[in-house]
Amino acid sequence: MADYLLIVESPAKSNTIKKFLGSKYKVVASMGHVRDLPKSQFGIDVENDFEPKYINMRDKSKVIKELKAEAKGMKKIILATDPDREGEAIAWHLAFILGVDIDSTCRVTFNEITKEAVTKAIKEPRKLNINLIDAQQARRVLDRMVGYKISPLLWKKVQKGLSAGRVQSVACRLIVEREEEIDKFNPEEYWSLIANLYDEKTQKSVDAKLIHYKNEKIEIKSKEEVDRIISAVKNEKFIVSEVKLGTRQRHSAAPFTTSTLQQEASRKLGFTLKKTMMVAQQLYEGINIGGKISGLITYMRTDSVRLSEEARAIAKEIICKKYGNEYYEGTYYKSKSNIQDGHEAIRPAHPELDPDDVKEYLSKEQYKLYNLIHNRFIASQMSSAIYDTIVIDFDVKNYLFRATGSNLKFLGFMSVYIEDKDEKEDEEMMLPIVEQNQELHLENLQPEQHFTEPPPRYTEASLVKTLEEKGIGRPSTYAPTISTIIDRGYVEKNEKKLFATELGKIVTKLLIDNFGDIVNVEFTAGMESKLDDVEEGKVQWKQVVKEFYNPFSVKLAEVEKELEHVELVHEESDVKCEKCGRIMVYKYGKFGKFLACPGFPECRNAKAIIEKLDMKCPMCGGDILIKKSKKKKKYYICENNNPDNGCEYIVFQKPKKPKVEKEKDE
């Protein structure tokens, strides 16, 4: 008979922990939150010092009943939910429901689900951390205020089912403003000039780029300018004016935080943020490795790059044994100043478990992500890569041409892991060792026309990076934030890039025009800092809420009055309503954009927008329609798709037009 009830959040985690504890412990799962603000009402008593009206969640009534039954007769209830604000709040709500004294040592946390970590945590229980709880309460209440007060305005003026959010609306604004930058961008012409040279001694080629004129950076704006330069130097000798030999180091990247894991998994593995977090959760909660269940990684919601000394020691042993002592550096990484440093970086819970040793026990996605995390961790403790570098300058009639090259001398951490970048670095070529005053033969002057490019559209990875840099949201919020703005139809994802939809632009403009502070980057980042202050006990959470709500409620009343008689102008189409003759307009619903008659409610005509691919069905010659699945993934289907019609053409990858062979002249 069990004496102690230990409550975690998920069944997977409870199954893992059961294996570590004896028969005295009963381990059960709360299945996440059990109490929350009501969905049917605002749920915050503004008149009573912003007291939240928490209720038991309806869909958790069965779980709550089971938890109460399990708690009866137990000597002690141990709350072992996740080690962050959200987990602390869930533990607090569980304590309320089960009648646990919040001043008792009822709380345990572990950064990794291993036998050592779990048994150690149970020996060191603590009281609930009220500051962590209050920080979560403040976030929840602020988000409720924005969502429940602004969203109804969107329903009235734009479309039912829309929502505004304290973080999601700022993320959407970033994408909309990037779209505007791209639309307004005017490309400017510029030219580069490369001198293709040949060293007869080594029989190697050297490409030298024009960079300066009379010691100042040169910008070539037209073909006429580049032609003048070519005329000035084409008959001159290219004599080496200076040679610089040196070395440079490339340092390893820090071990993963939540955001850097999301970015790298997106770039290297093609994972969405949602998929990354789902697979990371599985690795954290426990995998059956040859009959033994254990978590494979540490807690995956963290913005710290700190590593425990135990983990560092194991990394050192692995590196020295596998690669040699010269490959070990043991770098300490410094976390950013505005982060919670309660947890380690994301690393393997058992660093000695090589990814290939456990591959057979993992799904394809689990193996890929574990391999990524393991290699990044090991590489973070390895020596820097070392390059021999060479810079060769040619001074030709006051025009400075420069060739740069490098040779990888020592692999260091790069033998294990190389970080991907959103911005690709220029590759340097290998150059021959030449001497000052040596002449190289000019084979060709190669001018090339370029045009400046607009800023790139955001990907999930680059948006996370921007949100983190600007201090918007926290690691746990990035994936749900981006999922929400895609699900609401404010943003579309196409070939990994995020595009602002017309609906996203309309909603963002309405919010900027009327609630500039709410969708202001600096304001939102400042609010995150205030939540951090609550967590650190520097300020009371209700004070933060009060300072936000009082001016917000005044502004809300003003906006409601101003918009009372304002009708939103919908974008017109070129389609005439077949029922009443009016020109139909574009509107937005649960499943995206559709055509509607502006004569509503007199005329209720509406129809779907049919997108067609610019090619015919290879089976029957019909039009190929572009449609979306329930999960909003595009697929391509023939308009005649029906077994009875003899055509069953449907594909999920965009089909390519067949190549048309040119007829040869007889």
Of 80, 61, 64, nearest to 16 by C-alpha is 80
Whole-number Å distance between alpha carbons of 226 and 189: 12
Residue among 471, 476, 485 at smallest CA distance from 521: 471
Known catalytic residue: 649? Answer: no
Selecting among 190, 198, 284, 299, the annotated active-site residue is: 299
Other residues' Cβ atoms within 10 Å of the Cβ of residue 487: 13
Where b means 16+ CB within 10 Å and e means fewer, 156-188 reads ebbbeebbbbbbbbbbbbbbbebbeeeeeeeee
Q: Give the Å distances, CA to CA, from 14 to 8, 27, 102, 301.
A: 6, 6, 23, 19
Contacts of 340 (CB under 8 A, 6+ apart): 303, 304, 532, 535
| Among candidate residues 470, 150, 441, 113, the one with its CA nearest the CA of residue 293 | 113
CB 571 within 8 A of CB 586: yes
Q: Where are the alpha helices (DSSP H) in 158-205?
A: 168-184
Distance CA 253, CA 255 (A): 7
Place of tokens 């090589």: 354
Give the CA distances from residue 341 to residues 84, 250, 301, 335, 336, in Å, rounded to whole numbers and listed in that order: 11, 26, 11, 8, 9
Instruction: Return d(Cα 548, Cα 543) in angstroms, integer.
Output: 9
Break the chain down into helix, strand, coil percent, rounded to 5: 40, 25, 40
Kindly tell me the burial class for residue 661, based on how many C-beta atoms sit within 10 Å of its own C-beta (0-12, 13-18, 19 or more): exposed
Could you tell me the CA-to-CA distances from 500 to 45, 129, 182, 593, 657 in Å, in that order? 36, 41, 11, 13, 28
Residue 12 in contact with residue 286, Cβ under 8 Å?
yes
CB 637 within 8 A of CB 649: yes
- Known catalytic residues are 299
